[in-house]
């Protein structure tokens, strides 16, 4: 049912839901909470440690008074805790509170705090009001927190989810996972899992629900992959491609020497592409290890052997960067290879022109986003397809791309630090090459973890770096201010910076909701050195390469998974300059700071992710997703690694028909796999 079929959801709210990709009530059931909030013991104001949502116990210092502020009907009152510390409580559009609140009673207020410029707590916004008895009933229960967008409140989502549960008893009751597997793996029913993921009574509910849902997701993924694999494993090599002399010459001319690890991978690729069977290879190499040049070498060999090669990137920004990099490089070395670009934001006319070149074979290397795999594109003789940042794509997209040719070679590149055992389960159909070495000209990045008090010093440092002609990234977690989160948002942060730094420097912002054209422009300007400071959300995380950038400052670093932070810091230290990473924690909580300190200790992405988990323990798993794997809604390859292994085992049994499932059970599972693959395709909409 369409989302506006729910009572109380009108045109406006519907639009807000659509903004966060919720279109019907089924979507809501799978819109899992981002985190949970505990109704913890109420505290006095001075005990508050930087938490955003708190429960404070006390009394009103007089009547609540209505104020008219613009079109908003505001009620406010002074609330004092037991020690006499005061703050102002403010409610919008609830004028009746002035009448219904009995100021002789003790209340618990639960809401979002606002601070003044000096960090002092001054107000609590739109708090829920509980009598002490009512609050006791709720004590220690968990409240789901959903990702929101401006204008949409957590309560609206909660209500809508509850209503969807009422409407969809059929979907919820139906469990496709055979009873025998559930028993063996000790998993709760799907119905229970869905209920408990949204509305758990306690933490162990969440853990059990998460276990079941991530198992499902991994199992579907692996089964989908196995099905695709069975159709094309052991295929004959239709495109025998050797290392060309012209490519060797190019490698000689490069301004750097390939690392031993790079050379090894180049060799592995050569053996594959010139061998009897088609190549299916995954290159895993940490950020900055130099994967692009390896892809370039393979693509050049493909072209010199008389075929076309494609390179697909997850974002337009990255595609554009690869395109510029390739064309400039070929021009510089006088190599006659025609590189074309194909992205979603090009005009129909531009696209037609490129389609033609791809079809008649005049385009040698085709670089683009998923626009490369739409039906309209016909390749003349596609011999190699490369996907960059594989973890950002679904399996199907990779397959669709390869289906564009007659079993072309496949090379996928990923910087997600997955340990080999897990990579084999996840990408079981691929041979794996690992680049475990960074180019030798790199200076180790200097890291520091600081609290917000340090900001002025950080800005001074940034200014010095700019004066040395370097460039700066500043990362904020959100695009626009939302009701529930006070995380810095790029737009207002940029305004603020401009005020601080004045007109002398060029400061711009970048976020996922901008038009592709605008994003490309900003990125291009940044890589040309025309922008000094780029304030961005994590859209910058994938693959962008600007060696002149030397400082990465991450605001609200405590909100990110350490693995994601590690990827982010990979945007600096990509040239020969000393680079710096400043992680600014919005919280002074020593535990949170300690977690961030892990980043100082190691440069090994997987070590970082697993240390993170050890520190936080399973109960805290939900708060922060480790990696940017878009293909999984809930499963986290680090946090749920055990479930991934279990799912891998189960998939193997199912594949070999060794777990005694009935035909009906298998059929139901197969249906789910189909649905899953389509769903993933629809979701990975980049």
Residues that bind ligand ADP (CB under 6 A): 256, 258-259, 262, 285, 287-293, 415, 439, 441, 543, 545, 547, 574
Minimum CB separation of residue 540 from ligand ADP in Å reads 13
Cβ nearer to ligand ADP, comparing 88 with 325? 325
Cβ nearer to ligand ADP, comparing 54 with 609? 609
Minimum CB separation of residue 293 from ligand ADP in Å reads 5
Handedness of CA 400, 403, 405, 408 (dihedral sign): positive
Cβ nearer to Mg ion, comparing 317 with 372? 317
The C-alpha atoms of residue 380 and residue 338 are separated, in whole angstroms, by 14
Closest CA to 632 of 422, 329, 375, 410: 422
Taking the CB of residue 332, how many other CB atoms lie within 10 A of it?
A: 9
Minimum CB separation of residue 433 from ligand ADP in Å reads 12
Minimum CB separation of residue 544 from Mg ion in Å reads 8
Closest CB to ligand ADP: residue number: 290
Q: Which does 258 bind (CB under 5 to 8 A by kind): Mg ion, ligand ADP, none?
A: ligand ADP
Cβ nearer to Mg ion, comparing 428 with 439? 439
Under 8 Å between Cβ of 175 and 668: no
Closest CA to 664 of 218, 173, 178: 178
Q: In this chain, which stretch among 132-140, 221-229, 273-281, 542-550 interacts with Mg ion, using CB under 5 A?
A: 542-550
Q: In this chain, which stretch among 200-208, 536-544, 622-630, 645-653 interacts with Mg ion, using CB under 5 A?
A: 536-544
Q: Which does 290 bind (CB under 5 to 8 A by kind): ligand ADP, Mg ion, none?
A: ligand ADP
Strand 471-475 with 446-451, pairing = unpaired
Under 8 Å between Cβ of 316 and 372: no
Q: Which does 195 bind (CB under 5 to 8 A by kind): Mg ion, ligand ADP, none?
A: none
Q: Which does 547 bind (CB under 5 to 8 A by kind): ligand ADP, Mg ion, none?
A: ligand ADP
Cβ nearer to ligand ADP, comparing 283 with 346? 283
The C-alpha atoms of residue 249 and residue 260 are separated, in whole angstroms, by 18
Q: Which does 296 bind (CB under 5 to 8 A by kind): ligand ADP, Mg ion, none?
A: none
Q: Which does 358 bind (CB under 5 to 8 A by kind): ligand ADP, Mg ion, none?
A: none
Give yes or no for residue 543 binding Mg ion (CB under 5 A).
yes
Sheet containing strand 365-368, edge to edge, reads 339-342, 365-368, 308-312, 382-387, 409-414, 280-285, 431-435
SS3 129: strand
The C-alpha atoms of residue 237 and residue 258 are separated, in whole angstroms, by 27
Angle between helices 190-198 and 203-232 (to 10 degrees): 120
Minimum CB separation of residue 435 from Mg ion in Å reads 11
Query: What is the longest distance spanned by two Cα atoms in the chain?
Result: 89
The C-alpha atoms of residue 658 and residue 655 are separated, in whole angstroms, by 8
Cβ nearer to ligand ADP, comparing 321 with 536? 321
Closest CB to Mg ion: residue number: 543
Taking the CB of residue 174, how many other CB atoms lie within 10 A of it?
A: 11
**Alpha-carbon distances, residue 504 vs 470, 507, 532, 610 (angstroms):** 14, 9, 10, 43
Give yes or no for residue 144 binding Mg ion (CB under 5 A).
no
Handedness of CA 277, 279, 280, 285 (dihedral sign): positive
Minimum CB separation of residue 318 from Mg ion in Å reads 8
Under 8 Å between Cβ of 345 and 517: yes
Minimum CB separation of residue 580 from ligand ADP in Å reads 18
Minimum CB separation of residue 439 from ligand ADP in Å reads 3
Q: In this chain, which stretch among 426-434, 447-455, 460-468, 540-548 interacts with Mg ion, using CB under 5 A?
A: 540-548
For the chain, state the CA radius of gyration. 27
Minimum CB separation of residue 177 from Mg ion in Å reads 37
Q: In this chain, which stretch among 76-84, 145-153, 483-491, 535-543 interacts with Mg ion, using CB under 5 A?
A: 535-543
Under 8 Å between Cβ of 477 and 537: yes
Taking the CB of residue 412, how many other CB atoms lie within 10 A of it?
A: 24
Taking the CB of residue 160, how many other CB atoms lie within 10 A of it?
A: 23
Which helix (H) or strand (E) segment holds residue 584: the answer is: strand 580-585
Please list, in sequence order, all residues whose beta carbon lies within 8 angstroms of the beta carbon of residue 431, skipping any fewer than 6 positions away.
268, 272, 279, 280, 281, 282
Cβ nearer to ligand ADP, comparing 195 with 291? 291
Q: Which does 361 bind (CB under 5 to 8 A by kind): ligand ADP, Mg ion, none?
A: none
Q: In this chain, which stretch among 335-343, 361-369, 422-430, 541-549 interacts with Mg ion, using CB under 5 A?
A: 541-549
Q: Which does 536 bind (CB under 5 to 8 A by kind): Mg ion, ligand ADP, none?
A: none
Cβ nearer to ligand ADP, comparing 80 with 258? 258
SS3 575: coil
Cβ nearer to ligand ADP, comparing 260 with 460? 260
Cβ nearer to ligand ADP, comparing 262 with 603? 262
Q: Which does 529 bind (CB under 5 to 8 A by kind): Mg ion, ligand ADP, none?
A: none
Handedness of CA 381, 384, 388, 389 (dihedral sign): positive
DSSP 433: E
Minimum CB separation of residue 295 from ligand ADP in Å reads 8
Cβ nearer to ligand ADP, comparing 127 with 285? 285
Q: In this chain, which stretch among 179-187, 531-539, 543-551, 664-672 interacts with Mg ion, using CB under 5 A?
A: 543-551
DSSP 545: -
Q: Which does 262 bind (CB under 5 to 8 A by kind): Mg ion, ligand ADP, none?
A: ligand ADP
Minimum CB separation of residue 617 from Mg ion in Å reads 33
The C-alpha atoms of residue 190 and residue 30 are separated, in whole angstroms, by 12
Cβ nearer to Mg ion, comparing 110 with 574? 574
Angle between helices 562-569 and 605-616 (to 10 degrees): 150
Please list, in sequence order, all residues whose beta carbon lies within 8 angstroms of the beta carbon of residue 589, skipping any fewer than 6 positions away.
49, 50, 558
Give yes or no for residue 383 binding Mg ion (CB under 5 A).
no
Cβ nearer to ligand ADP, comparing 252 with 499? 252
Cβ nearer to Mg ion, comparing 545 with 556? 545
Minimum CB separation of residue 298 from Mg ion in Å reads 14
Residues that bind Mg ion (CB under 5 A): 543
């Amino acid at each position: 049912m369409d989302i506006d079929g729910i009572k109380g959801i009108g045109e406006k709210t519907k639009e807000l839901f659509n903004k966060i990709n919720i279109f019907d009530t089924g979507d809501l059931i799978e819109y899992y909470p981002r985190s949970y909030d505990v109704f913890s013991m109420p505290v006095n104001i001075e005990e508050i440690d930087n938490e955003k949502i708190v429960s404070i116990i006390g009394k009103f210092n007089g009547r609540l008074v209505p104020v008219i502020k613009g079109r908003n009907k505001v009620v406010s009152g002074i609330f004092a805790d037991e020690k006499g510390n005061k703050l102002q409580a403010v409610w919008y559009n609830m004028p009746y509170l002035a009448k219904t609140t009995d100021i002789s009673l003790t209340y618990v207020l639960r809401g979002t705090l606002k601070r003044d410029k000096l960090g002092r707590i001054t107000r609590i916004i739109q708090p829920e009001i509980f009598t002490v008895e009512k609050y006791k009933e709720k004590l220690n229960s968990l409240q789901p927190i959903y990702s929101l967008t401006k204008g949409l409140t957590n309560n609206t989502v909660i209500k809508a989810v509850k209503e969807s549960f009422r409407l969809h008893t059929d979907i919820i009751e139906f469990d496709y996972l055979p009873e025998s597997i559930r028993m063996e793996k000790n998993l709760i029913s799907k119905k229970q899992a869905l209920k408990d993921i949204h509305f758990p009574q306690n933490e162990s509910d969440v853990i059990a629900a998460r276990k079941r849902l991530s198992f499902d997701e991994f199992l579907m993924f692996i089964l989908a992959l196995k099905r695709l694999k069975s159709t094309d494993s052991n295929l004959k090599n239709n495109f025998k491609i050797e290392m060309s002399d012209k490519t060797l010459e190019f490698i000689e001319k490069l301004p750097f020497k390939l690392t031993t690890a790079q050379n090894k991978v180049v060799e592995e690729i050569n053996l594959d592409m010139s061998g009897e069977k088609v190549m299916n290879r995954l290159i895993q190499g940490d950020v900055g290890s130099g994967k692009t040049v390896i892809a370039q070498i393979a693509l050049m060999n493909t072209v010199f052997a008389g075929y076309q090669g494609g390179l697909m990137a997850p974002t337009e920004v990255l595609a554009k960067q690869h395109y510029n990099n390739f064309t400039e490089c070929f021009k510089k070395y006088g190599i006659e290879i025609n590189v074309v670009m194909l992205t979603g934001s090009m005009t129909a006319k531009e696209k037609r022109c490129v389609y033609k070149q791809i079809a008649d074979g005049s385009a040698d290397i085709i670089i683009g986003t998923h626009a490369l795999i739409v039906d309209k594109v016909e390749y003349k003789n596609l011999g190699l397809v490369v996907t960059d940042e594989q973890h950002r794509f679904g399996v199907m997209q990779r397959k669709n791309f390869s289906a564009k040719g007659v079993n072309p070679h496949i090379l996928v590149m990923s910087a997600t630090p997955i340990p080999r055992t897990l990579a084999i389960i996840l990408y079981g159909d691929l041979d794996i090459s690992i680049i475990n070495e960074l180019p030798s000209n790199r200076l180790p990045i200097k890291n520091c973890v600081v609290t917000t008090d340090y900001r002025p010093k950080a800005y001074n440092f940034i200014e010095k770096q700019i004066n040395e002609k370097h460039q700066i990234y500043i990362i904020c977690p959100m695009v626009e201010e939302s009701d529930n989160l006070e995380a810095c948002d790029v737009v207002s942060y940029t305004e603020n910076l401009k005020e601080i730094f004045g007109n002398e420097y060029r400061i711009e912002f970048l976020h996922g909701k901008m038009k592709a054209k605008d994003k490309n422009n900003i990125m291009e300007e940044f890589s040309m050195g025309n922008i000094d400071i780029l304030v961005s959300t994590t859209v910058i995380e994938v693959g962008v390469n600007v060696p002149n950038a030397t400082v990465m400052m991450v605001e609200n670093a405590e909100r990110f998974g350490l693995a994601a932070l590690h990827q982010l810091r990979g945007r600096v230290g990509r040239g020969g300059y000393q680079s710096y990473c400043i992680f600014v924690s919005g919280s002074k909580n020593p535990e949170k700071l300690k977690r961030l300190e892990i980043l100082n200790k190691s440069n090994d992405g997987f070590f970082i992710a697993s240390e993170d988990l050890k520190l936080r323990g399973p109960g805290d798993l939900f708060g922060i997703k480790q990696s940017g794997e878009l293909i999984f809604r809930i499963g986290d390859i680090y946090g749920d690694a055990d479930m991934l292994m279990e799912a891998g085992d189960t998939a193997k049994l199912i594949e070999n028909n060794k777990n005694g499932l009935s035909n009906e059970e298998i059929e139901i599972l197969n249906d789910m796999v189909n649905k899953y693959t389509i769903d993933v395709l629809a979701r990975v909409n980049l």
